[in-house]
Amino acid sequence: MKKDPFCAIKNKKKLWPKDYIRKYQIDNLWKYDLPDGWRLIYTIRADQVRFDHKEYEKRFGY
């Protein structure tokens, strides 16, 4: 998962627990099947800027 956090199954929004949406403000939810019937449920969030303003202008032609 460290190499590919998207390797799991993306859950449909209608299946997300309402508590998760309220408590964690999720906008995606993933399920990874573990051995012996266990499952890992997680969300992915960006916590850093991927490019600066100069790079933004370059990418979008400003």
Would you list the domain boundaries of the chain?
Answer: 9-60
In whole angstroms, give the CA distance from residue 20 to residue 11.
Answer: 13
For residues 5-30, give the mean pLDDT: 94
For residues 39-62, give the mean pLDDT: 82
For residues 19-27, give the mean pLDDT: 93
Looking at per-residue pLDDT, the higher value among 48 and 21 belongs to 21
Residue 6 in contact with residue 28, Cβ under 8 Å? no
